[in-house]
Structure 1
Amino acid sequence: MKKKISAIMVLVCFLLQMNTIAWASTPKSISNQTITSGATQAIYNWSTEKGNVKISVVTVDLTNPYTYLTIIPGAGRWGERSTVSNMTKRTNPIALTNGDFFNMKAEGAPIGATVIGGELASSPSYLTGVYALGITNDRKAYIEQFNFTGKVTKADGTSFPLSGLNKTFYWQEDNNSHSHINKLHLYNDLWGSTKRGSDSYVGTPVEVMLQDNKVVGVKTDGAYEMAVPEGLQILHGDGKAAEFLKTLKVGDEVNVDYAMTPDMNWQMVIGGHALLVNNGQTVAYTKDLSALGGVRARTAAGISADGTKVYIAAVEGRTNESAGLSLTNLASFMQYIGCYKAVNLDGGGSTAMTVRNLGASSATRVINPENNGSERKVVEGLALYSTAPQGILTGLKLRGTQKVFVGESVQYTASGWDEYYNPANLNTVTLEYSDTAGLGAWQGNTFTAQKAGTTEVAAASGVARGTLSVQVLGAESVKNLELSFDKTSVVSGGTAKLTAKATLTDGTTKTVSPSMLTLTAEGGSISTDGVLTATIPSGTVKVTAAFGSVTATKTIKIDSATKQYALNTLDGVSGHVSPSNVTGSVELADDPAGSGSKVLKLNYNFSATKETAASYAVFADKTMTVAANTKKLALDIYGSGHGEWVRVELRDAAGEVHRYTLAQNVDWNGWKTVEFDLNSEEISGEMSLWRIYTVASADENRAATEDRSLYFRNLRLSGSSSALVNVLLHINSSEIVTNGTTQTMDTAPYVTAAGRTMVPIRFITEALGGEVVWDGEEQRVSLILEDSLIQMHIGESTMEVNGVSKSLDAPAEIKNNRTMIPLRAVSEAFGLAVNYEAQDKSITIVN
């Protein structure tokens, strides 16, 4: 009885907390824009006790005849998960966010109900207290609980209950039974997975393939190992349901009948979780909080009292910009923005949102993933579209720098929209540019500042006009210059890009275009756009920049090449493609720049596949060797601006492959030297160059059908290195010393009972210049250092190093809220030199 009373008191206190908003501060709308006729987007900042919170809210007015919401299934079907950004690229919505919850260990289907275009796409699960957002054909929004019933009837009149449409396995909360044991399920051609409700609990299923309610296939010894073919359905039965299906034969007629209630002529339904707001008041969260609690990224949907407005909110969480929200505060926020009823959608690592800004041609991400990590692939997106016709140009927005130096030429760009807030095609419009104070001259959209002062630049066409306030600065406004290069060293013949930043007399800073500077280089040449080319074989190049009376200098070290391969022969070189249905080859060709030299040409055409594809130049073993002391690799690449991803693979004596990205985006035309700093500790002995290749991921566009080529020359290897990073720790000491600088950690290294030395990986990784990303939901730590990505799960004795699984001599574990990993893993994961001195229990790690 005491336990019951205590539980009641806790619930009462929680309800009081939920329904009484004691605002320490209120959310503030810092921006608001119309993104289409009938929809707006606002960004809120909210200062909470856990930190600042960023929230994006899209409000959809269903009384507007043009806007509509719909569901985007992952990459096209259930079982084909995709990120919010990739769904956005594929379907071009006005706004899109993640949707329903899903089991990350299952096939990839929503847990709740889904209706797309008036058709049931996924039935609700048999769960209690779970709600979904629905919009009817007469454009009214509701948040309701949904139920599913159905049955399959044979020609002889016998029938069996149908438990679901397009459902993965789960445990039913109505009777605590398994969703598929002794149950019958239906799958249609929206199901893209080769598995259907399979886990370790179910037996051998029977599957019957249907076309227009007629049996076209029966499989009694297990499921079909395929996705559901287009235009067909599959009945999947386990146990008693399998026995029901076994008697069917090809040609038999069956009747499949099912319904979802409430039946209100739904145009769209998306599943959610428990309610946040009901009847305009926040409510206690009724579902289990063990996996949903804490301060996280969040996604939610709400409706107005009359059902004419839908509010879609995405909360950024656990980033430098935004702490995230608890479910209690999420409910309070949804009530604050006007929700009469609101439901929680999938959050945490699933949360992301894209929005098409006013005048933009496509949506971009406005809410970033947790920990600023990569987006999680989710099962569906909730997307906003418009059927509004193209109207007349009514608005313009100008973009460009608001501080210009006298003599500097800058371009201003404009975006526009029509009367329905559709993006306008300005290629068919003539824009007139001007500045109100007459401080410069215009050539099209290029403004050349001629005298100092403050002005307003403008672009106009008809009734549409956009303006931007601009300050023109003289040389006397510059206090000092700071120069930097985009790399710490270059090889002879290599290039480095110079950037300059001016500190102004008012204390602000401004980037200075190299074309505004007087540039000289000792030991190299430097172009007017700041590209330095090293011309001496070794030593240091010194660059001097002058702006008016202010000067600055910057030096950059030359890495002497210890070995060079011209790549002007096909001896020991062959071509290879993957998969086999794409085309590619390698050949010797004339230098496209006209030097008369022969260079290596890599051809490719990936238009035949939507999968990841690659074209390789393969080098026979020992054709080109890489010594153990090699620190840097440089290669000249001739591009045509197609944005290719270029990688190189080295193979060591044991056959292990080491992959490096040379260029993530070949967006240039002509020759360019690219460089990569090798981590020498990964190279145990001499290695061989194995392959140079271009690869395109499965998510990238295959629209281009023409044959394309890349050219390569002058592979250079050098033995010089960047400055060493030396990290010193001691067992049971909370001090960490990095290159002589001492800091205090909140967790010390220790030795386990099994004799394994455990170290706090976050402090070590960050001391070495790397990054650590923690996913609490999946209990996974990701470590990024230079070109290495290491991932490990707490409690598991394996780790992935650049996608390759390696064993750990002890599993990673949590101590004092810090991830601890065995010392040996530091060496094997990052390829670092690690030394342990038993006498003073010191650990030295050198990068």
Structure 2
Amino acid sequence: MRRFQRSKKWPAMVLAIATVLNLSSFGALTAHADPLGEANVLKSEKISSGVNFTSEEYNNYYKANNRVVVNRLDVNPADSNTKIITAKAYDTISAVETIGDQANREILKGNQVIAGVDGDFYDIDPASGNPLGLMMKDGELIVSQAPDEHASNYRTSFYMDNANKPGIDQIHAEGKFSVAGTDYDVNLLNRNQAVNNGLVIHTSKLTKTRKMTHNYAADRGKSVFALIRVGNHFDGVHPGQTYTGTVVNVTSTEGFDIPDDSVVLEGVGTSQPIVQALETNAEVSFTYDLYAGKDADNHDVLKNDIVTSLTSNAWLVRDGAAVTTGDPAANARTALGMKADGSLVVVTVDKPSSSYTGSVGTGLPDLAKYMQEAGAVNALNLDGGGSTEMIVRQAGSDRPVTISHPGDVNGSRLVSSSLLFVSTATKGTTVGNVVVDKNVTLYTGSKYDFSYRLADEFGNPISGGNGPAAWASTIGTVDANGHYLANAGIGAGEVSATVDGVKGSAKVSVVDTVYNAAFTSNNVVMINNQQKQFGFTAVDASGNQVYIDPSVAAWSLSGGIGEVDANGLVSTNGNGGTGTLTATFGPYTITTNVTVGPKEQIIDNFDTVSDGTGINPSNFPIQGYHFSGTAYPTNPNAASSPYFSFSTTIKHSGDRSFKMDYDMANWSKAANGTLNWIPHWYKGANWSDDLAAAMDKSYKTDIYPKKFGIWVYGDGKAPWLRVIFKDGTNTNKTLDLTTERSKIHHFRQWRG
């Protein structure tokens, strides 16, 4: 996601830290010439007559041992029951909202949403949320191209026309405003940021308050506004239509209401006199036209029949060739491609998070190759990173749910827009599809519970049909309730459920060897008199997941810290200490340490004396920390920096806290604006080895870290707080301590 805010020198932010804050970044994965590798299809189902959903796992994604999960929609726009629409957060330009909430709003309007992905890049500043590029929704021009776009650099968009035909091209709007026989160019619509000179028309969709305001102070005080009443039948700006209206009043003061039947003509900078000259009750008119691409004579092509569009920031495939010059860093990604026959491929790729490690993410060059191999002749990169999300209404379900793994701490990020896929088919009453969940590989002897969903021929959910399902299996046994037992040796087969003569099945493989197996939790710390269920994570030689039922293993727990039952449930007692948990199945024995210890641990409190609660002071000098990021010059030593200090006047507890000053004036906005605070738990030139060893000990935790906390004395300006820590395998893990809904907006007060 492109994140940008206005440059300014911000006041100090004071921190009291209760966890590790090594704000380094993940390394990049570059594109390789290796083949894509074989896909393990985790799930594949037809969710409507024109949309198929597939979840694919690649264990050698263009590189050996490179595990990537791709969620994919194959869409046929020509299907008579398929419609593609856009959604805008709160139906408002300056707003953000989860994809799920945007879809639910469309469902309330009568649109039967069956799938969706995040859309355009946007201004992530909480004061804004404006999309990066032009957007069309239901034939209405929601927002025009940005002020920085012109004839040589219009952004590329995906669009649908009113004949339900897709396209990918550069799209821009051109407008005319007329008064008293004089025409003026007004090419911007609902753009209230970074306009220097020119005319802009705004509708009531500009802000959630339906007021004429600017998101940033730098844009205020240089405009004149005319409120123009268009009439009761005004329902937004539709390209190619001419609108007439009457000037209600002219003012240089913003903050007034924009009625739904009115628009605002804003004159910025040198265009102020045009608006200032308008007289009350003067009749005016305006119109906008859309243009997509160039004709053979290099003229703009009029394209007012576009009804849906979203803007991209980069090509992935262009005229059949993969574009391999994009960002190679492994990240979550969202992409849309169009095949030669007009069908679409829409994908999301997951990345690791604090709660998910099943996919490493992908760089744009490899994503471009994937889209090309999927058949796309043109493909675009949509918003990615923490914004990446796919929702799917699986066959037999009544609402779409998130099926990808969003990287933010609370899951779904608040985003500006989304691309949604809608089924217009009427709900039936006859069973047309039985979906059995899910394809699985099992270790021999394991138990597994299968379930099924019923849908009509269009994927709409229906009731239970004419009786319960008839279960059957070609390998192992399954009872009348779908409880399966892998008791017939190794091999491959299927488990099926049949309802009203319609059969659905899931693939089952049974194995007696695994390539690698471990506990789902390792080096676990528990508290006294606590219970925890242990299980296994395992893969076969091809990297495919193997489910091992805990009951197939023989379990034991040493150390006198508790007991473990035959199903891997550990119950600690009142003793402390460390024991060894052991599980044996077949020829495999797995062990891990289980420590019964304290409930919490203070990592760093910056104090030099006790705070009165009995907690020892950290007492590390300023040389024990350094910084990096866009807010700071190149100077790794906090001891000689004017930006870092200990504060004895503002403190949460004890006698001091850590204070960070920062200056964003030199931020180019080409990348994220970051303030990276890094403790020296490692040896180096900045301080003694003894102090480094002491901090290393303090910053290591002997408890299972279910939560991390930081007390922050906010300055009202910093929107995000993120920690990167190392797990027991020395792997970096990222955890967002704030969310889209909960940022560091508090001013001159402590919050944790």
TM-score range, shorter chain: 0.5 to 0.7
Deviations 1:208-241 (A, max 9, x none): 4444356696573432177x56555333332344
Larger relative contact order, structure 1 or 2 (CA cutoff 8 Å, min sep 6)? 2
In the alignment, does 2:274 pair up with 1:244?
yes
In terms of mean alpha carbon deviation, does 837-846 or 536-545 score higher? Answer: 536-545
- Write the distance in 2 (CA, Å) between the matches of 1:557 and 1:241: 71
Distance in 1 between residues matched to 2:71 and 2:539, nearest whole Å: 35
2:230 matched to 1:200?
no
Q: Tell me if 1:107 matches 2:107.
A: no
Provide the C-alpha distance between the structure 2 equivalents of 1:539 and 1:26, rounded to a whole number of angstroms: 48
Shift of 1:67: 0.9
In the other structure, the counterpart of 1:3 is: none
Could you report, residue by residue, the CA deviation over 1:38-82 in whole angstroms, capped at 9, with x for unpaired residues? 223454857447967665543322221011111111354222123
2:710 aligned residue:
none
Say whether 1:378 aligns with 2:393.
no
CA–CA separation in structure 1 for the residues paired with 2:590 and 2:322:
62
- What are the equivalent positions in structure 2 for 1:267-306 lying under 5 Å apart? 267-273=307-313, 277=317, 280-282=319-321, 293-295=327-329, 297=331, 298-305=333-340
The change in CA–CA distance for 1:497 and 1:232 in structure 2 (over 3 A counts) is farther
After superposition, residues 690-701 of structure 1 pair within 5 angstroms as none
Aligned in 2, Cα 1:516/1:357: closer, same or farther, shift over 3 Å?
same
**What are the residue-to-residue correspondences of 1:533-548 with 2, within 5 Å?**
536=574
Query: For the residues of structure 2 that align with 1:260 and 1:359, how far apart are their CA atoms?
Result: 40
Q: Against the structure 1 CA distance between its residues 152 and 537, is the aligned structure 2 distance closer, same or farther, given a 3 Å change threshold?
A: same
Deviations 1:281-322 (A, max 9, x none): 43889xxx8xx644455544343446x323334455788734
Q: CA contact under 8 A between 1:485 and 1:497: conserved in structure 2?
A: no
1:108 match: secondary structure = coil
CA, structure 1 residues 96+779, in 2 after alignment: closer, same or farther (shift >3 Å)? Answer: farther
**1:496 paired residue number:** 531
Q: Is the 8 A contact 2:49 2:459 kept in 1?
A: yes
Shift of 1:372: 10
Counterpart position of 1:37:
49
| Residue 787 (structure 1) aligns with | none
Partner of 1:78: 93
Q: Which whole-Å CA distance do the structure 1 matches of 2:256 and 2:52 have between them?
A: 45
SS for the counterpart of 1:384 is strand
In the TM superposition, what are the counterparts of 1:203-602 in structure 2 within 5 Å? 203-213=221-231, 218=249, 220-224=251-255, 230=260, 232-246=262-276, 253-261=283-291, 262-273=302-313, 277=317, 280-282=319-321, 293-295=327-329, 297=331, 298-305=333-340, 308-314=342-348, 321-322=359-360, 324-326=362-364, 333-347=370-384, 350-358=387-395, 361-363=398-400, 365=402, 377-391=414-428, 392-399=430-437, 403=442, 410-426=448-464, 430-435=468-473, 442=479, 444-447=481-484, 457-468=495-506, 488-491=525-528, 494-499=529-534, 511-513=548-550, 536=574
Is contact 2:561–2:579 with CA below 8 Å preserved after alignment? yes
Provide the identity percentage: 19
Question: Which residue pairs with 2:140 in the alignment?
Answer: 119
Against the structure 1 CA distance between its residues 164 and 351, is the aligned structure 2 distance closer, same or farther, given a 3 Å change threshold? same
- Once the two structures are superposed, the pairs formed by residues 146-225 of structure 1 within 5 Å of their partners are 146-154=171-179, 160-170=184-194, 179-189=195-205, 191-192=207-208, 195-196=213-214, 198=216, 200=218, 203-213=221-231, 218=249, 220-224=251-255
Which residue identity does 2:138 align to in structure 1?
G
1:284 and 1:484 mapped to 2: Cα distance?
Answer: 41
Structure 2 residue matching 1:94: 3-state secondary structure: strand
Q: In the alignment, is residue 679 of structure 1 matched against residue 586 of structure 2?
A: no
Kept in 2, the 8 Å contact 1:302–1:342? The answer is: yes
CA contact (8 A) 1:204 1:222 kept: no
Partner of 1:807: 659
Give the gaps of 5 or more residues in structure 1.
Answer: 1-20, 171-178, 560-630, 633-676, 689-717, 729-750, 762-775, 781-791, 814-818
Say if 1:40 and 1:59, in contact at 8 Å, map to a contact too. Answer: yes
The residue type paired with residue 427 of structure 2 is Q
C-alpha contact 2:474 2:494 (8 A) present in aligned 1: yes
Aligned twin of 2:692: 843
Q: Is the 8 A contact 1:205 1:242 kept in 2?
A: yes
Matched pairs, number: 586
Give the conservation status (yes or no) of the 8 Å contact 1:758–1:823.
no
Write the distance in 2 (CA, Å) between the matches of 1:200 and 1:374.
33
2:169 to 114, 130, 144: 144
Q: What's the TM-score, normalizing by structure 2?
A: 0.60
Distance 1:549 1:260 in 2: 68
Letter in 2 for 1:82: E
Paired with 1:546 and 1:335, the residues of 2 have a C-alpha distance of: 46
Q: Deviations over 1:5-37 (max 9, x none)?
A: xxxxxxxxxxxxxxxx99653676654653321
Distance in 2 between the 1:833 and 1:281 partners?
50
Deviation for aligned residue 1:336:
4.0
Counterpart residue identity of residue 50, structure 2: G
Secondary structure of the 1:183 match is: strand
Query: Separation in 2 of the partners of 1:79 and 1:435?
Result: 54
* Alpha carbons 2:122, 2:132 under 8 Å: kept: yes
Q: Could you tell me whether the CA contact under 8 Å between 1:409 and 1:449 is conserved in 2?
A: yes
Partner AA of 1:386 in structure 2: S
Change in Cα spacing, 1:486 to 1:432, as seen in structure 2 (3 Å) is: farther
Match of residue 789 from structure 1 = none
Alpha-carbon shift at residue 102 of structure 1 (Å): 3.1
3-state SS in 1 of match to 2:497: strand
Q: 1:250 to 1:224 in 2, by over 3 A?
A: farther
Q: Which residue of 2 aligns with 1:59?
A: 74
One-letter amino acid matched to 1:188: S
Structure ID, larger Rg: 1
**Cα gap change, 1:515 to 1:404, in 2 (>3 Å):** closer
**What is the distance in 2 between the residues matched to 1:254 and 1:511?**
73
Contact 1:36/1:420, CA 8 A, preserved across alignment: yes
Are the aligned partners of 2:443 and 2:548 in contact in 1 as well (CA < 8 Å)?
A: no
* Separation (CA, whole Å) in 1 of partners of 2:525 and 2:373: 51
Consecutive unaligned residues in structure 2, runs of 5 or more: 1-30, 108-112, 232-244, 292-301, 633-637, 646-651, 667-671, 699-752
Change (3 A) 1:110 1:310: same
Contact 2:142 2:190 in 1 (8 A): yes
Secondary structure of 1:385's aligned partner: strand
One-letter identity of the residue aligned with 1:80: A
CA distance in 1, matches of 2:344, 2:684: 60
Cα distance per residue 1:497-534 (max 9 Å; x no partner) = 24255999999986444699899997878888766665
- Structure-1-length-normalised TM-score: 0.55
Q: Distance in 2 between matches of 1:535 and 1:294?
A: 50
